[in-house]
Amino acid sequence: MARSPLTLAASVTSALPRVGVVSVGALTDGGTGRYDSAIAELDDGRRVIVRASTDDAAAATLTAQARALRALTPGVRGLLPFAAPQLLGEADLDSGRAVVVDFIAGYHVDAAHVPAGPGAATALGEAIAAVHALPTTVVRSEGLTALTPDQSRGEVVRLVDRAEQTRRAPAALIARWRQALAASHLWRFEGSVVLGGVDSVDFLFADGPQGLHIAALLEWSGLAVGDPAIDLRWTSSAPAAAADVFEAYAGALHRAPDAGLRMRARMYAELEFAKWLLHGVEEDDEEVVEDAVALLTALADGVSADSLVADTESDVEDALAILGRVAPAATAAIDTSMQTDAYDADALSEYLETDDLTATVGRTAAPSDSAAEEAITADSPVPPVSATRPEDTQPIDPTELVALAERAVAGLRPTDGAALQVLDDSPGVPVVAPLIADEIDPVADQADAERASRAALHRWARSDSE
């Protein structure tokens, strides 16, 4: 039996002992009826929302909601571009639990009614990205659930196993889901702060001077670290706006594109029907089971032979296209520089100051370079030297490098019946490749090598000076 607003007003005074309730009214937002809700005006002028659970599952959700809201410290809230409810009080009831939060004005938009283009779709994508960008310590410090990508995937595997064991789920769907689970590369994602499956109606919209924006996010009970795709599963119910939501999400989240994001979001949406089936089986409610079977059968007919894995081929292209539209400031903090060996300044300066052309400049030999070290004989003029920092290097005289290269090529003598051929088939540094000794004239080959080396280094010197 639903509680009356007056009964809920009494819950407010239990949760907030030192305040009085001036007025109270029923509140409904078109939800599923899991809670009895009311809006109350207090004697200090504040308006608050009170929600009371109608069953044990709803009571557990309200407890989780209160715990999550406590984790949202003022510092964390400052990172969000919208409001989150302030937890004002809690109360235990004879048949459940009540939670009191502050009232935030706004309106909901159902997923099916989210239009394409700028506006609600982009606002939702950016809002979800803001949550996913929160530091994971928000969750971990409160001891909330934190799953690795492998653990998230494992939970889906167990869900599919349970659905298959009921023998009521269509075999085609089980095969479809298992194929997606087997594609390990689609499950390589960076875990983030998630809401455990937020829906578009959990956001409050408001109109302001800058246009439509998100005023608040009301539902926080699923706060955890996990797969970000789970908070985008609702986009399957908004086919017209889905592309804009994902584009806005990727543009607002300063993170590498997730090629499997849309596939996993779609899969989580489909698995909601499997959860409904399992709920009916666990509750021994044949009416729920039949409803779930009908939904799963219709889904199987709708996807036919389509593969979730195949769908990601276009997702990769979409992700790359989105990355190209990200503002430069969004990627400025990402270090994509290559770390390379540098010439030793002292060794190079010694070479430049002496007429002895056997003075050497080389590179640091790593343990994996043993084969290359063997190719450089004792009489080679290019022994290795230590690497140093890039900022310590000195200017290089291209004419000196040409002379050095000529000496270096002269030192590459055939060993054990093999020779070295210098290929000059592309501009840049010559390429050295092994040849069989009886296929070439060593003297002619050495002359060709010298000419090729000089030509390549002269081209490099000209391009460098330009």
Q: What is the pLDDT of residue 31?
A: 52
| 90 or 10, which is more confident | 90
pLDDT of 327-371, one tens digit each? 444 434 444 333 334 445 555 455 445 444 444 433 444 444 444
pLDDT of 181-200, one tens digit each? 999 889 999 999 999 999 99
**For 85-94, 116-125, 165-174, which range has the lowest pLDDT when averaged over its residues?**
85-94
> What residue ranges define each of the domains in the chain, with the CATH number in brackets?
5-102 (3.30.200.20), 111-331 (3.90.1200.10), 345-465 (no CATH)
pLDDT of 369-385, one tens digit each? 444 444 444 444 444 44
Q: What is the pLDDT of residue 457?
A: 52
Whole-structure pTM value: 0.65
Residue 169 has pLDDT above 90, yes or no: yes
Q: How big is the CA angle at 174 (ends 173 and 178), to the nearest 5 degrees?
A: 115
Mean pLDDT for 36-52 is 88
Q: What is the pLDDT of residue 389?
A: 46
pLDDT of 230-285, one tens digit each? 999 999 999 999 999 999 999 998 887 888 999 999 999 999 999 999 999 999 99
